[in-house]
Structure 1
Amino acid sequence: MRPLALPLLATLTLAACMPPGGASQSADKMAAGPIPAGFQGRWGMSLNDCTPGRDDAKGLMSVSADTLTFYESRGVLTEPQEQQPARLSGMFDFTGEGQSWSYHELLELKDDGQTLIRTETGDGAAPAPLRYMRCPA
């Protein structure tokens, strides 16, 4: 193999591992699970929510392979129903502040993966869809 072929091969191999759609989160930080990689990362309802270390970032939502984490609660995906690269729905079991509850959540990616719309249904659910922006890396 020629000396320049190895770096090119390594670059092509790494490029194949990157998420589609230009997601800003690196592939090594994304975990496999029922929540597609395009949804994973930090999302804010305002730019201030994305500022690390702010105590008042109550609109921040962190999404991992199977969990939505908020300021004082977290929801684990227990019954996935629809799983597509830009659309996910299912039942989430939430806990927080000594309570537990379940919501059906619909998550939709818009604007080439930079906007996330979250619609929840169930007793006490938000009456309208919630809009998040992807936090800068």
Structure 2
Amino acid sequence: MRWLATGMMAMTLAACGGGTPDYNRVDVPEREAEAQAAIERSVAQNGAASTARSGVPVTVPSRTAARARAFPTEFRGYWGVTDDDCELANTSATGRINIDADTIRFYDTRARVQRLVPLSPQEVVADVRIAGEGPAFERRETYRLEAGGTMLVRIAPPTTQRYRRC
């Protein structure tokens, strides 16, 4: 009887792959593994805080010419020099800017991004074409996020301007 129990145990182990079981191995369904990989890519590219706020893209968009010159999401929105600039009803807010995907709107001018070069998740260099009052012109500007994304520094030599998120 003892021999039968030992033989049955050996056959059971052999059927399960034999040897010592590997308790560290976890089988994950393929779709869950792909989802985890997408999360890890998003965190590596955008940072954990940004990924937590904006979520993970379901599909990876192709890099078109329009996307290549688009500001990252963290830069977009309204920014103001003073508290009054952040009052959207204030139509005379000269210190307010609005950053869209590839356009920066100032009080009386508009800058269209011609080329955007990310230096880091918090800093980009933009070649912009500015039109508004007077003849249109092009220049290179640097945009940098500070204070956890609540402050924007715009460097348009020889001027440096600081904005806060509205």
Q: Which amino acid aligns with 1:132?
A: Y
1:49-107 Cα shifts (integer Å, max 9, x gaps):
01012122000000011111001111011022335321010210010024211121100
Mapping for residues 16-31 of structure 1, pairs under 5 Å? 21=49
SS of 2:85's equivalent in the other structure is: helix
TM-score (norm 2): 0.58
Name the residue aligned to 2:109.
Answer: 73
Name the residue aligned to 1:6.
Answer: none
Mapping for residues 1-137 of structure 1, pairs under 5 Å? 21=49, 33=67, 34-121=70-157, 127-135=158-166
* Structure 1, 91-100 or 35-44: larger mean CA deviation: 91-100
Counting helix residues as a fraction of each chain, which structure ranks higher? Answer: 2
RMSD (CA atoms): 2.6
Stretches of structure 2 lacking an aligned partner (at least 5 in a row): 1-38, 56-65
Q: Which amino acid aligns with 2:89?
A: G
SS of 2:84's equivalent in the other structure is: helix
* Structure 1, 73-82 or 104-113: larger mean CA deviation: 73-82
Q: Which amino acid aligns with 1:66?
A: D
TM-score (norm 1): 0.69
Residues paired across the two proteins, number: 109
Q: Tell which structure's C-alpha radius of gyration is larger.
A: 2
- Contact 1:36/1:84 (<8 A) preserved: no
Q: Which amino acid aligns with 1:131?
A: R
Q: 1:53 to 1:89 in 2, by over 3 A?
A: same
Stretches of structure 1 lacking an aligned partner (at least 5 in a row): 1-15, 122-126
